[in-house]
Structure 1
Amino acid sequence: MQANKMKVLFLTLVLGLVCSSQEIPAEPHHSQISGEWRTHYIASSNTDKTGENGPFNVYLRSIKFNDKGDSLVFHFFVKNNGECTESSVSGRRIANNVYVAEYAGANQFHFILVSDDGLIVNTENVDDEGNRTRLIGLLGKEDEVDDHDLERFLEEVRKLGIPEENIVDFTKGDGCQAQ
């Protein structure tokens, strides 16, 4: 009987150690995200949303969080018929690393921090007609795209089942000068 209790205790200890050693994705701290960013790539399940004149054909400039990290503002340009229009969208935190914002419908998104210079944003948009679109974007602080960040982005695109031909490349320049 004593030996069985010892085995159970030992197995409990081993299980506890195994569970504690599993990597749990941590929510990126808002201070790691807040700052200047540029759009590098956006993939979408609906290319009308990210194509020329689409609402998510956006040239991001910055993401700014408030001090508590429970609200944020995206500052960006949208190019429509060759003309750049400056815009911003506010969002709020509703759960651990889950945010919502109203832009071209209702959006729920979360951040996947890749590196000091790269950020992936996973978004679900439900437009005014009730159509759901999955979007994933790779943002960068520099003009150059890190190969590791790009590979991680492509992994996320594949996980969502978005065809790679639905990826829009924003790295060639946007013609919308920062103001």
Structure 2
Amino acid sequence: CTNGTKLSHTFTCLVSIAAFFFQIEGNWRTVYLAASSVEKINEGSPLRTYFRRIECGKRCNRINLYFYIKKGAKCQQFKIVGRRSQDVYYAKYEGSTAFMLKTVNEKILLFDYFNRNRRNDVTRVAGVLAKGRQLTKDEMTEYMNFVEEMGIEDENVQRVMDTGIVATCVCNFLFCIFIINVNF
């Protein structure tokens, strides 16, 4: 889309960007995560992200990711901004992160990222976000194929949807109202 010289190519590019925008914008929930270092996505770890919302800027050159990290009984909300260069987004979270998004359908979104922490350790994470709580058999197969393509072992896949229930988190009154509005 970056080097469109013909009008038809430019039109196709704009349609592709618009379709991508409408497919990723909205409320999402993390269902599964897999990582090259499984301890990085264990409960309480900073890369175990419980996604809630994705917003796209103009032409999706900038993307806002809203998610929670659960530490013990407390949840901490994060908003990170990814800036696009070609098909990759770059953001600062737990060091430097480069990520890509792939739409499967209007209800399923795959993502993968490389995270380089402050100690220069690199972790690769592949996840699936959904509008619902379950994946169909075909969607799960597509996710597992994606994990394999990313070079992550099958045994490193964790279902995180069931451990991300916000009701288990201790929160203040305003925080709880926000969560109730998002969930219902």
Shorter chain as denominator, the TM-score bin is: 0.7 to 0.9
Contact 1:115–1:149 (Cα < 8 Å) also in 2: no
- Are 2:158 and 1:155 aligned? no
Alignment partner, residue 73 of structure 1? 64
Say which SS state the counterpart of residue 62 (structure 1) adopts. strand
Contact 1:77–1:176 (Cα < 8 Å) also in 2: no
> Residue deviations 1:13-41, cap 9 Å, x none?
xxxxxxxxxxxxx7761221111100000
| TM-score, length-scaled by structure 2 | 0.77
What 5-or-longer segments of structure 1 have no aligned partner?
1-25
Alignment partner, residue 99 of structure 1? 89
Alignment partner, residue 165 of structure 1? 155
User: RMSD of the TM alignment (CA)?
Assistant: 1.6
Matches within 5 A, 1:50-65: 50-65=41-56
Name the CA distance, whole Å, in 2 between partners of 1:71 and 1:102.
Answer: 13
Q: Deviation above 2 Å: which 4+ runs of structure 1?
A: none
Letter of the aligned partner of 1:176 in structure 2? V
| TM-score, length-scaled by structure 1 | 0.79
> Which deviates more from structure 2 when the two are superposed, residues 52-61 or residues 167-176?
167-176
Alpha-carbon shift at residue 173 of structure 1 (Å): 4.7
Alpha-carbon shift at residue 83 of structure 1 (Å): 1.2
Alignment partner, residue 119 of structure 2? 129
Alpha-carbon shift at residue 139 of structure 1 (Å): 0.5
Tell me which protein shows more helix as a share of its residues.
2
Name the CA distance, whole Å, in 1 between partners of 2:92 and 2:139.
Answer: 28
Percent identical among aligned pairs is: 26
- Are 2:165 and 1:175 aligned? yes
Letter of the aligned partner of 2:84 in structure 1? R
Say which SS state the counterpart of residue 161 (structure 1) adopts. coil
Name the CA distance, whole Å, in 2 between partners of 1:32 and 1:145.
Answer: 17
Alignment partner, residue 131 of structure 2? 141
Name the CA distance, whole Å, in 1 between partners of 2:54 and 2:137.
Answer: 23
